Structure 1
Amino acid sequence: MLQTLKEASVPRSHPAEFRHKVLAPVEAGRPVRRIAHDLGASEQTIYVWRRQHLADTGQLPGPAGEDQAEPVAARRRIAELEAEPAVHRRAAELMGEVVPPGRERRPRPTSPPASETRVECPYRRGVEQLGSSLGS
């Protein structure tokens, strides 16, 4: 299967256990170039994994992978929030094309007469009789 240039340049995510299996021969002294060739990965990728592994284990100064998760999530959220006004502007533009300018008011539905909306109460007759007898 042939890959297009775009597909070949897109980085792929590999599980942590795969990275550890790749790094074991590197730590044993096997050349990175040979491991990269055998796996079809770039040498640079393996060097990045090695550098991150050394930082995670404290053998090299730098942020551990766990320490980078929160800032990455924060940057992603900031990018989403920055893109939001553009989305709203575009939606407003599209709505302006669909909805004619100016506010057209719809007529309000007329309410039914009060006699039709009246709910019959079983005690109403007694209250009316009581009220008429008190008033006289």
Structure 2
Amino acid sequence: MPKAYPAEFRARAVAVVRAGKSVRWTALELEISESCLHSWIKQDRIDHGERPGLSSTEHADLVTAKRRIRQLETELEVLREASKIYEELKGDPKGHSR
């Protein structure tokens, strides 16, 4: 798994490149890969409306929504199974299955 850098560190790295330093120089100085820095710059441009794509906030919202959907689907499946069991038991007043 890639190393997670704090948001402040990423923002400072992007700011250095925006101020005119090369990606290569900045990556070497900060001891990060150029590809990592390029991806931060790309996301920064999206976040600032300079290129199309999902902003960081939209991406986070989408991840949260997908997680919630998975949770709700699981809960729905549990309720469906419970409903089946209930219907089976309801048919026999003593609670015995047929």
Regarding TM over 0.5, the answer is yes
1:44 aligns to 2:35 (yes or no): yes
CA distance in 2, matches of 1:81, 1:11: 30
1:72 — aligned with what?
Answer: 63
Larger radius of gyration: 1
Q: Output the TM-score relative to the length of structure 2.
A: 0.62
Cα gap change, 1:66 to 1:35, in 2 (>3 Å): same
Q: What is the CA distance between 1:79 and its match in structure 2?
A: 6.5
CA distance in 1, matches of 2:30, 2:72: 39
Q: What is the CA distance between 1:77 and its match in structure 2?
A: 5.3
Structure 1: gaps spanning 5 or more residues:
1-9, 83-136
1:93-122 per-residue CA deviation (whole Å, 9 max, x = no partner) reads: xxxxxxxxxxxxxxxxxxxxxxxxxxxxxx
Identical amino acids, percent of aligned pairs: 41
Picking from 22, 33, 43, the partner of 2:24 is 33
Query: Which amino acid letter does the alignment assign opposite residue 31 of structure 1?
Result: S
CA distance in 2, matches of 1:42, 1:71: 27
Q: What is the CA distance between 1:74 and its match in structure 2?
A: 3.7
Q: What is the CA distance between 1:76 and its match in structure 2?
A: 4.3
Which of the two has greater helix per residue? 2
Equivalenced residue count is: 74
Query: Which amino acid letter does the alignment assign opposite residue 24 of structure 1?
Result: A
| CA RMSD between the two structures | 2.2
2:54 — aligned with what?
Answer: 63
CA distance in 2, matches of 1:73, 1:47: 25
Map 1:91-130; keep pairs closer than 5 Å.
Answer: none
Query: Which amino acid letter does the alignment assign opposite residue 62 of structure 1?
Result: G
Cα gap change, 1:16 to 1:43, in 2 (>3 Å): same
CA distance in 1, matches of 2:41, 2:60: 18
